[in-house]
Copies of this chain bind each other. A is one copy, B any other.
Amino acid sequence: MAQKPSIPKGTRDFSPLEMMRRTYMFDTIKNVFRAYGYAPLETPAMENLSTLTGKYGEEGDKLLFKILNSGDFTRGLTPADVQAIAAEGELSGASANAMAARICEKGLRYDLTVPLARYAVQHQAEIVFPFRRYQVQPVWRADRPQKGRYREFYQCDVDVIGTRSLLCEFELVKIVERVFGDLGINVTLKLNNRKILYGIAETIGHADKMTDITVAIDKLDKIGLENVEAELAAKGIGAEAIGKLRPILELSGTNAEKLGRMKEVVAASETGLRGIAETEELFSYIAAAGSNLDIELDLSLARGLNYYTGAIFEVKAKDHAIGSICGGGRYDDLTGIFGMPGMSGVGISFGADRIYDVMLALNLFPEEAAIATRVLFVNFGGVEQLASLRLLQQVRDAGIPSEIYPEPAKMKKQMEYANRRGIPFVVIVGEDELAAQTATVKDMRSGEQQRAAFDRLVHFLRS
């Protein structure tokens, strides 16, 4: 009868210790979002497949988790499906996908951006624009699981939609500074603008190949300049154009120097110049406000997602090698696919799993985040137990996480429990203590024992 229990590959349980640390991380991030006037939103785990399909490219469609229709799901199948299934081995990926669409109406959320666009359009009458929201929820992708890549993971997004003001980009830069400052992670914020990239594509004579160019450039960090150039060549971009691109990708100097140089490079591209003006305005806000953040204009930053149209961001940890831990940008028509065109928005997403890994590697979680119970009362049974219960109630009413061992077990067993759970204080109310109306408090880390009168115990444990 007994099953060996397990969970689906690519998914995780979060133990109490992991949860307490994750809660610390998420609370820190959410508190910054709140201080900046963003309000929370949650959308359902299941969306209609029609909402999700076609929004993440062909590859993304394949990675959607689909929910089998309830009841007799086979009702949706066509005679052609049945024949296709009967002709075993003949089923191609495409027809399996089409068939899946007939037996599945719903899929699991793939990111938080498409649901935001869907929500904004669906509730446009009630929403006050500009709409400032943050959203922290899991998403699901049927990716091949590997180290650091999961099929269920949390996203942590903050967006404002309904304004083209560059103050929003500035605000997101300040949010990045504050979040990683509060978490104690040294970071570099890389910044670029899709309009500048478009200007470059125009300048090298390939405005039509903007997507190919950004996709290739986006891989610069991972595969190096030579391979990027090979990929560009394979996409039909000539040697001359590639030659023009190289010095741009290798541009060095201060941000101001880079902008100055780029102004010459894309001088003939109206869009390119607009991108530079936007970037200059953003830098002017940052300069006026002052910032301790290391901000780098990186003209090779492209970001894969095609919906970006203006500023793009990416954040890297300085003291721990891992991919980008935060990224985002401006998108000008995300709600267009749902029938509400012209709604510009900008947002960033914090990569919770990678941030967690960085914090763990650099030992940045405070000790407090590992403590669930602060105080354990030893259980001696009888009248001592009743006295302990009364004191415990006071300690709990004061909001100090505490408990009593549920059985009058051997002292050694109870102490071992406190140790294994990392409980820092143990309160002992035995016969002597009861007679003296004074508890013994043992500091489990130092081993030191102190006495506290019953009516001073809460005060003692608080300090």
**A interface residues (Cβ-Cβ under 8 A, vs B):** 1-8, 11-16, 19-20, 23, 31, 34-48, 50-51, 62-63, 65-68, 70-74, 77, 82, 84-86, 91, 93, 96, 99-100, 103-106, 108, 118-119, 121-123, 126, 128, 130, 132-133, 138, 140, 142, 151-152, 160, 163, 165, 167-168, 171, 174, 178, 285, 288-289, 337-339, 372-373, 376, 379, 386, 389-390, 393, 396-397, 399-404, 406-407, 417, 420-421
Docked pose: A142 CA to B404 CA in angstroms = 40
Beyond A35-B399, A45-B45, A167-B404, is A96–B73 a contact (Cβ under 8 Å)? yes
Docked pose: A34 CA to B7 CA in angstroms = 27
Q: Which 3 A-B pairs have the closest CB atoms?
A: A2-B339, A37-B403, A16-B39
Among candidates B15, B178, B393, residue contacting A126 with C-beta atoms closer than 8 Å? B15
Docked pose: A84 CA to B72 CA in angstroms = 12
Docked pose: A34 CA to B339 CA in angstroms = 46
What are 26 contact pairs spanning A and B, CB under 8 A?
Answer: A3-B337, A3-B338, A5-B121, A7-B43, A7-B46, A8-B48, A8-B106, A13-B42, A13-B44, A15-B41, A35-B396, A35-B400, A37-B403, A39-B373, A44-B152, A46-B151, A65-B68, A71-B96, A74-B84, A74-B99, A128-B421, A130-B406, A132-B372, A167-B379, A167-B389, A167-B407
Which residues of chain B are within 8 angstroms of A407 by Cβ–Cβ distance? 163, 165, 167
Which residues of chain B are within 8 angstroms of A93 by Cβ–Cβ distance? 71-72
Which residues of chain B are within 8 angstroms of A339 by Cβ–Cβ distance? 2-5
Taking a contact as CB atoms under 8 Å apart, the answer to whether B128 and A417 are in contact is yes
Which residues of chain B are within 8 angstroms of A36 by Cβ–Cβ distance? 396, 401-403
Smallest CB separation, A380 vs chain B (Å) = 13
Taking a contact as CB atoms under 8 Å apart, the answer to whether A44 and B7 are in contact is yes
Which residues of chain B are within 8 angstroms of A379 by Cβ–Cβ distance? 167
Beyond A15-B126, A372-B37, is A46–B152 a contact (Cβ under 8 Å)? yes
Smallest CB separation, A284 vs chain B (Å) = 9
Beyond A42-B14, A85-B82, is A35–B103 a contact (Cβ under 8 Å)? no
Taking a contact as CB atoms under 8 Å apart, the answer to whether A6 and B140 are in contact is no
